Amino acid sequence: MHELSITQSLVDAVLDCTGDRTVTGVNLRIGRLSGVLPDALRFCFQLLAEGTPLAGADLRIDEPAGRATCHTCRQSFILPDTIPLCTCGSADVEITGGRELMLASVEVG
């Protein structure tokens, strides 16, 4: 349940930036290969935002798909899970997207 720690980092990072201003929206980018579950993060956010200027903020999570490039056949493709395997059979694959774990922006009132 690493999402709790990560959400606390999120809340701290936002508050470091916004101080006492009321935060109305938080935009995240959580890649599908990042190992972090958006639902768990939302759950934790509700708990941790309570009593802070983030309480009630709209948490929006963009979930970019996993992407990879095959060094054997040179094609770029969507990676549905964490096992880096190209449809050509090659495992010589470089993951190029989907591991994002980013606080993109916040909206303050």
Which residues of this protein are in contact with another protein, per CB under 8 A?
1-6, 8-15, 17-18, 20, 22, 24-25, 28, 35-36, 40, 43-44, 47, 50-53, 55-56, 81-85, 91-92, 101-109
- The answer to whether 86 is annotated as binding is yes
Q: Which is nearer to another protein, 53 or 70 (CB)?
A: 53
Structure tokens at 5: 């720690």
Q: Is 67 left (phi over 0), alpha (psi -120 to 50) or beta?
A: beta
Q: Which is nearer to another protein, 55 or 65 (CB)?
A: 55
Phi, psi (rounded to 5 degrees) for 58:
-80, 115
Exposed / middle / buried, residue 44 (Cβ in 10 Å: 0-12, 13-18, 19+): buried
> At closest approach, how far in Å is the CB of 76 from another protein?
19
> At closest approach, how far in Å is the CB of 20 from another protein?
6
Instruction: Estimate to the nearest angstrom the gap between the alpha carbon of 98 and the chain centroid.
Output: 9
> At closest approach, how far in Å is the CB of 74 from another protein?
18
